[in-house]
Structure 1
Amino acid sequence: MNPLGITVVLGLLAGVWAQINVVRPQCDSPEAEEAALVARDYLNTQHTHGYKYALNRIEDIKIHTKPDGDNTYMLEIELLETDCHVLDPTPLANCTVRPKILTAVEGDCDVVLKRVGGALTVTAFKCKTEESTEDLCVGCHTLLPLNDTTALEFVQASLATFNNMTVNGTYTVMEVGRMSSQVVSGGPIYFAEYVVVEANCIDDACVPLNDTMAARGICTAKGLTTDHTVDCKMFLTLMPVVDVNSTAALAMPPTVHIHTGSLTPMHGLRHHKLTTLHDPHLSGLLSESAESAEVVPVAPTVVDAGVASAPAADPASPTAADPAPPANTGSASDSSASAEVPVVVVKRDVPAPAIVDAVTQTDPIALVPVCPGRVRFF
């Protein structure tokens, strides 16, 4: 290729890199926190079974910037299951994260977000949901499969007790949230959480009311089929929503699948999983739930004028010069266990339409890694 052709090609490549650049802010920065909370809330709206999830940790973040401000965020977050069912209108901030000793459930998600016109929206995600078994002990609660026959008999027996105590209305099971057992002297005792809905019952056959005004609630039961306690908390049937004109409106409750027959279609699962995948066309950008390496374009490092430039290696990719990875912190995410090369972010003016945050490596001992972020619960 003649010198003129080489110059043209290099000019085109420089134009491409000037238009799209990769920025890696700190995981605990306000920008990362904003994206993580948008992702958390969106994932909870997609999760129509089981319980709401709270943000525990931001594992990693990359931002693909464009001069027009329509940036793409690549986010890895860790979520923890709370004790608030998805039908419960209680604000997430008031929900309690389940402690590990009660078998916490963890969700690890990769999320793609777009910032268009200043607003962040989720365009794709991929999640995996796992039990935390780190702090289990002899005599601790053990999660049971959602189709465990004996535990489901206990659910029905406790529901019958509740119906016998209820004056107005009869209820049937809408969804089993979780069931567990604990071995004590004399044998196991059972614990169950399940959502109920008002129903029409004739003899032993109950049909859930197909009405938005039908009462719904969550019951917690403890004991044996023949000797137990049960307590049910009713949810608000209609939840107030304020529209753009600040006028109050009533919103229908989220739709949750009503189980029939064996009460649950989950075979062998011990907990309700987060929605696994959204927009498979972008799945190549998402690595966490697939436990595969992420492949994304990375812009060349921008340096001061007069200094030769070289393509910047992705800090997530190990090289011979990288320091040894730290010990596992106990996070459910494999990718969070690998260390990144510590970096600092320096603003540089470059002769391009966009200003790029250049990543410059210095003494690794003197720097603090920017990711993963702080652990909020455990």
Structure 2
Amino acid sequence: MWVCVWLLALFVCWQGGSPSPVEPPVGCQSPEVLRAAEEGLDQINADLTKGFILSLNRVYDISQQTGEGEVTFNLTIDVMETKCHVISRNPWKKCEVKNVANVPVYGQCMASIYVGKSVELRSYKCTIQQVPATVIVDTCPDCPTAERLDDPIIAETANLSLQKYNQKSHLPNYFTLLNITGASMQWVVGPAYFVEFIIQETVCAKGTPDVDLTQCKMMDCEFAHKGFCKGSHITLDGGLFENKLPIQVNCEIFEPEAALAEEKVHSMEGSDHRENEYHKHAHTHLHPHEHHHHPTSPNQASPRPKGLLGVVVVLPPPHVPPAPRASPAAKNCPGKRKTNLGLGSFKI
């Protein structure tokens, strides 16, 4: 009997005492940590305004602060650049990581990520850099290596590629060069130059005769289309701009986010009034550049401006071999890499 009373008293004291501490995460491979890293990186990519979408390679280190039913993870995650530009807004899991044939870029992000009923990115700082050309050549002697973006031959390649795209495009307006985002060179039968660049729609219509593209103003409204292009040409040995083989170019044009948002508004309004308005608007169509702006309703949150949560710093390629990296402070870290470029002793 006394044993039962003693056990009951012990149970009551335990129940009324201090709450037990939250168990620390299993490590960099634990499901809750990977969920925070993956969804946090989704939000980092959504916050970016330039550059390429980043892919998660592994969780390198972790610390945390816990509260009642919630936790904030401070993560160090290793990332790699993908082939998708941020204007595509593609999910990073659907983007191919740049390999040794695409001048790979790697880095890490320090991110503070709150996990409660939802996952919320609080802040981040990412640093990225290209794999050194010497490392690529040692692994793949025939692979392209990076070129300076301000090299005259790169500007020439971009302009020739854009000229060809404007000639073959069936879109109503001309496009102009916005900026060059990447460049590389590879020896084929001569120097082959590859360039990646962003283009933006202009106010000059394709039907306008004798258009001087340099005089065409960019369409500066939020409904202007942008595109991501890849162009190339091979210059035969014997001159900088002479004897060029046919230009190759491929551009992907993206719908402006403002247009997509407006389309969503029209869709919602249409579902509310479809029965009453069907006959009235059945034959009404908007011109591609005729847009109606709708004020934000009191219950509709305004979109958060991008680029406010953090920053991405682009560093020059590191020395070879790179400086040693500090070991993770957390147990069971780092996690397993998702991508291995096979660069020998150059570990990323």
Q: TM-score, normalised by structure 1?
A: 0.59
Identity over the aligned pairs, expressed in percent? 26
Match of 1:235 among 227, 237, 254: 254
**CA distance in 2: counterparts of 1:180 and 1:49, whole angstroms:** 19
Count how many residue pairs are aligned between Structure 1 and Structure 2: 261
Alpha-carbon distance in 2 for matches of 1:199, 1:255: 25
Alignment partners' CA distance in 1, 2:78 and 2:154:
30
Q: Does 1:334 align with 2:296?
A: no
Q: CA deviation at 1:254?
A: 11
Q: What is the one-letter code of the residue matched to 2:219? A: L
Kindly provide the CA deviation profile for residues 61-109 of structure 1, in whole angstroms up to 9, marking residues without a partner as x: 222223x234221111011111111111433322111113322111201
CA distance in 2, matches of 1:121, 1:19: 25
Are the counterparts in 2 of residues 106 and 130 from structure 1 also a CA contact under 8 Å? yes
Secondary structure of the 1:87 match is helix
TM superposition shift of 1:120: 2.7
The secondary structure found in structure 2 opposite 1:275 is strand
Instruction: Classify the secondary structure of the residue corresponding to 1:38.
Output: helix
Query: Which residue of structure 2 lines up, in the alignment, with residue 64 of structure 1?
Result: 65
User: Aligned partner of 1:221: which letter?
Assistant: G
* Aligned residue type for 2:123: A
Segment drifting more, 34-43 vs 233-242: 233-242
**Residue 149 of structure 1 aligns with which residue?**
152
Residues 30-49 of structure 1 mapped to structure 2, 5 A cutoff = 30-49=31-50
Is contact 2:100-2:143 (8 Å) kept?
Answer: no
Q: How does 1:267-286 map to 2 (within 5 A)?
A: 275-276=311-312
In the other structure, the counterpart of 1:211 is 221
1:377 aligns with 2:342: no
Are residues 127 and 377 of structure 1, via their aligned partners in 2, closer, same or farther at CA, if it must alter by over 3 Å?
same
1:118 aligns with 2:109: no
Aligned in 2, Cα 1:46/1:256: closer, same or farther, shift over 3 Å?
closer
Query: Aligned partners of 2:249, 2:260: CA distance in 1, in Å?
Result: 26
Displacement of 1:332 after TM fit? 9.7
Residues 339/126 of structure 1: CA separation in 2 closer, same or farther (3 Å cut) = closer
CA separation of 1:234 and 1:124: change in aligned 2, threshold 3 A = closer
Answer whether contact 2:42 2:92 (CA < 8 A) is retained.
Answer: no
| Aligned twin of 2:277 | none
Q: Which runs of 4+ in 1 moved over 4 A?
A: 17-22, 240-243, 246-257, 330-333
Matched AA of 2:117: G
Distance in 1, Cα, partners of 2:144 & 2:56: 24
C-alpha distance in 2, partners of 1:90/1:143? 25
* Structure 2 residue matching 1:213: 3-state secondary structure: coil
1:113–1:242 Cα change, 3 Å: farther
Aligned partners of 2:48 and 2:306 also within 8 Å: no
- What secondary structure does 2:217 align onto? strand
Q: Partners of 1:200 and 1:208 in 2: how far apart?
A: 6
Two-structure CA RMSD over aligned residues (Å): 3.8
Q: In structure 2, the residue corresponding to 1:26 is in which secondary structure?
A: coil
Distance 2:337 2:82 in 1: 16
Q: Matched residue of 1:185: which SS? A: coil
Distance 2:217 2:306 in 1: 15
Against the structure 1 CA distance between its residues 18 and 253, is the aligned structure 2 distance closer, same or farther, given a 3 Å change threshold? closer
Conserved? CA contact 1:52–1:83, under 8 Å: yes
Counterpart CA distance in 2 for 1:22 and 1:333 is 31
Structure 2 CA distance for partners of 1:109 and 1:241, relative to 1, 3 Å: farther
Letter in structure 1 aligned against 2:61: D
Q: 1:50 to 1:33 in 2, by over 3 A?
A: same
Partner SS for 1:154: helix
In the alignment, structure 1 residue 28 sits paired with structure 2 residue 29: yes
SS in 2 for 1:232: strand
Measure the CA separation in 2 of the matches of 1:230 and 1:255.
33
Query: Could you say which residue in structure 2 is the equivalent of 1:184?
Result: 188
Residues 1:213 and 1:125: Cα distance change in structure 2 (over 3 Å): closer
